[in-house]
Structure 1
Amino acid sequence: MDLVNWHSPILMVITETRLSSARADEIIEALPFDGYAVVDTIGFAGGIWMLWRSDLVHVDVLAATEQEIHAMIRVRSQSFSWLISAIYASPRFEECCMLWNNLRMLANMHDLPWAHMGDFNEVLSADEKYGGNPICQRRVRAIKECMDDCSMMDLGFTGPKYTSTNKRELGNLIQCKLDRCWVNPGWKEFYPEANVTHLARINSDHCPFLLNLYPFLGSNTDRPFRFQTIWLSHSDFLVVVRDAWAGREGNLAEAISNFKTKAQRWNREVFGNVFLRKKKILARLLGTQRALAVCQNSFLINLQKQLTEEYNLVLQIEEELWAMKSRTNWIIAGERNTSYFHISALNKRSKNRITCVQNNEGEWCHNVEEVKEIFNSSFKKLYKTEQVFCPVTPQWSSD
């Protein structure tokens, strides 16, 4: 939910889900995507979910196996389509070879713009692995030959070098770059500025990555002040209220304004903004994982564990916050329901969010300034009139 809230993806791929059947359906329904394709797990192994927002993108699923989902993509604001392959490669070499052969056959069947993304379970060079056994050159040749036959190029990345870890202590630590995004030249022509960012890894042994087709331009308008009932759980909050109202009992407007100022400062300096704390912890965690990719030591490993624990504590506070915001007291013992409360609180907001509009020529505009101009010109056209003078009809009277 955090990834969706922060990055607003139109399509999301989740690999190695370890879930299937009713539990998978329950989780997918709680996410803000109304289209999905699922490859079920085998026991607790594997699993691929491809989720999308059908109001922003049209997806036509073409084929799926235990290791891949292939679909045709058309972003609704654009006039062209391209092929996406969501990959979760098996760690077993024989099954990997089946995947590489499937990709070769698909490459011979079309000349469309094409992107592969997911967990390939292979490194391409010794530089992409730290610790453990030496890389297997046979496996490296197999994936490289497949990508060459498909005319694919690696998009590169920014962020931590390694995307996977075994979460062990320094002596037994293994880190690898297993997750990546490949594209063919036709896809690169459509999205020349596209880039991949490795995001912070939390409880998973893999870090998520974000594929940006073009920069996102959001709005920085100030949000209105809202009283958070979770503040009442803090012992110092009553002091903030008392100080804000002291000597202002006769002036309600001044007391409210003073309370707003003091509460915001207190929330920032003492209680702490939950979402800001989460982002700060993630930023520190990302920096730690960057450093751990370059210099492996016990201090960084322990710091990574500490930051992960802090993040999980903040999640508990966030759960209470969303429960209060949604005015829902239903909490199943032992199960975090943050996503349920999040959906309850943000359902109307997400439906009312405008991400793009059509101009008079029927073209979709995503740029914030262009959207503002379209709204302004439309309202001016609707309410403006060319009549600047209204003649007064003379009134005649008789004696």
Structure 2
Amino acid sequence: MKIFSWNLRGLGNPRGVRSLRDLLTKEDPDVVFLQETRLKVAQWIFCKYSLGFKNCFVVDSFGCSGGLAMLWKDDVNLHILNYSSHHIHALIRNSMFEGGVGIITGVYGHPQTERREEVWSIVKALGRGVTSPWLVFGDFNEILNQSEKHGGNLRSERQMAGFRSVLEEKGLRDLGFSGKPFTWCNRREGDIICERLDRFLGNLMWCEAFPFTHVQHGVAAYSDHTPIWLDSNGGLTKRKGHRLFRFEAMWIRDRDCTHIVERVWDESEGIGNCNDLMGKISKCGVELSKWNRRSFGNVQKELASAKEKLKEMEDLDPAYQQLPQHKVAREEVQKWLEKG
């Protein structure tokens, strides 16, 4: 199972949607937890489909901030248990869990320091009586120790102790990560601060059930937070089947797309039954995929190159000491995402 988490600081603009859709297409997660969506429930009716999901639970944003969403695939048997403006708590039924049940909790730590304890109290309360594998993850807006921060003043020991108390009382373990050491940066030239605010935590039952669990800190040209994801199999199990056909939004702007669909549809007699309909849809997919490689192959190559350069930049300079170069690399990715 792959679970994806990202504080994307707003999904109400094309750049955010493009960046998220690009990541989800590549990583193909089973469950997605998004923080600070800044969207209302009604706006998700269209948004979830544009991201490739039909199942979605949303917590409204308040004003121009906040907002949570959990999305999951059709073959994931997920049930929402409870929620607040700072968490979504869900149960997953699957034979991979001992007892057939696992618990996942997406968390968004309060951005106001003086109110962060409210969220810790919620997590502690949710953990009472949990007797299944339990995964807690998201943007906690807090670090566990000083090594998880670069720049700025030292973090208050009292603040960190409050967060550590959640792990100690509920038997949660930090599941580690691969990638750059920080998941948030203020990107303020001359006063750079970087911190590891986003993470996955698991109880002992989770760790025993999934000993090969792997957490990855990703790369994205959007938001001041880094997307993170967990693979319970450590990437050892490959996805089965062929890559799914996806209709790309960029095709609509090209008249050739319309011509291909019209030609395939007009090649034979009308539709007699469902098999005829599915046959035409399948052939459209094949023809559009061929045309995509011919017409947009260069855009996709340039996008892949730009993303690789951004990754190299972040690997070499995780504390953003060369901020202008980071900005250039991020803009280059956005340029090719927009062209795509």
The 3-state SS of whatever aligns with 2:206 is: helix
Residue in 1 that maps onto 2:306: 281
Q: Give the structure with higher Rg (CA).
A: 1
Shift of 1:95: 2.7
Separation (CA, whole Å) in 2 of partners of 1:167 and 1:70:
32
Q: Is the 8 A contact 1:69 1:85 kept in 2?
A: yes
C-alpha deviations, 1:37-60, integer Å up to 9, x for none? 11111112211100001x321011
C-alpha deviations, 1:43-86, integer Å up to 9, x for none? 12211100001x32101110001110100012477772110000
Q: Give the TM-score normalised by structure 2.
A: 0.74
Amino acid corresponding to residue 142 of structure 1 in structure 2: G
Amino acid corresponding to residue 9 of structure 1 in structure 2: P
Shift of 1:122: 0.3
Change in CA separation of 1:315 and 1:190 when aligned onto 2, cut-off 3 Å: same
Residue in 1 that maps onto 2:329: 307
Residue in 2 that maps onto 1:29: 49
Change in CA separation of 1:289 and 1:220 when aligned onto 2, cut-off 3 Å: farther
Separation (CA, whole Å) in 1 of partners of 2:60 and 2:243:
43
Alignment pair present for 1:166 and 2:186:
yes
C-alpha deviations, 1:140-197, integer Å up to 9, x for none? 000001111010000100011110111222x121111100000001011111101100
Shift of 1:229: 9.1
Separation (CA, whole Å) in 1 of partners of 2:132 and 2:101:
8
Alignment pair present for 1:102 and 2:122:
yes
Shift of 1:220: 10
Separation (CA, whole Å) in 1 of partners of 2:211 and 2:316:
30
The 3-state SS of whatever aligns with 1:273 is: helix
Alignment pair present for 1:297 and 2:309:
no
Residue in 1 that maps onto 2:3: none
Residue in 1 that maps onto 2:238: 217
- Of the three residues 169, 172, 175, the one matched with 1:149 is 169
- Of the three residues 173, 185, 200, the one matched with 1:181 is 200
Separation (CA, whole Å) in 2 of partners of 1:103 and 1:149:
10
Separation (CA, whole Å) in 1 of partners of 2:138 and 2:67:
12
C-alpha deviations, 1:85-115, integer Å up to 9, x for none? 0011112234321211122222222221100
Residue in 2 that maps onto 1:201: 220
The 3-state SS of whatever aligns with 1:160 is: coil
The two structures, once aligned, show a CA RMSD in angstroms of 2.9
RCO greater where, 1 or 2, for CA within 8 Å and sep 6 or more? Answer: 2
Instruction: Between 25-34 and 121-130, report the one with greater CA deviation.
Output: 25-34
Amino acid corresponding to residue 314 of structure 1 in structure 2: W
The 3-state SS of whatever aligns with 1:141 is: helix
- Of the three residues 105, 128, 131, the one matched with 1:85 is 105
Change in CA separation of 1:221 and 1:11 when aligned onto 2, cut-off 3 Å: closer
- Of the three residues 80, 90, 96, the one matched with 1:71 is 90
The 3-state SS of whatever aligns with 2:82 is: strand
C-alpha deviations, 1:245-287, integer Å up to 9, x for none? xxxxxxxxxxxxxxxxxx99x979xx86333332332222122
Amino acid corresponding to residue 309 of structure 1 in structure 2: E
Structure 2 stretches lacking a partner, 5+ long: 1-20, 245-249, 255-289
Identical residues among aligned pairs (%): 30
The 3-state SS of whatever aligns with 2:71 is: strand
Change in CA separation of 1:185 and 1:77 when aligned onto 2, cut-off 3 Å: closer
Amino acid corresponding to residue 274 of structure 1 in structure 2: V
Q: For residues 18-57 of structure 1, what are the structure 2 equivalents within 5 Å?
A: 18-53=38-73, 55-57=74-76
Residue in 2 that maps onto 1:10: 30
Structure 1 stretches lacking a partner, 5+ long: 233-262, 319-399
Residue in 2 that maps onto 1:334: none
Q: Is the 8 A contact 1:161 1:290 kept in 2?
A: no
Instruction: Between 75-84 and 128-137, report the one with greater CA deviation.
Output: 75-84
Q: Is the 8 A contact 1:56 1:76 kept in 2?
A: no
Amino acid corresponding to residue 133 of structure 2 in structure 1: P
Instruction: Between 176-185 and 159-168, report the one with greater CA deviation.
Output: 159-168
Q: Give the TM-score normalised by structure 1.
A: 0.63
Shift of 1:221: 8.3
Residue in 2 that maps onto 1:125: 145
C-alpha deviations, 1:325-381, integer Å up to 9, x for none? xxxxxxxxxxxxxxxxxxxxxxxxxxxxxxxxxxxxxxxxxxxxxxxxxxxxxxxxx
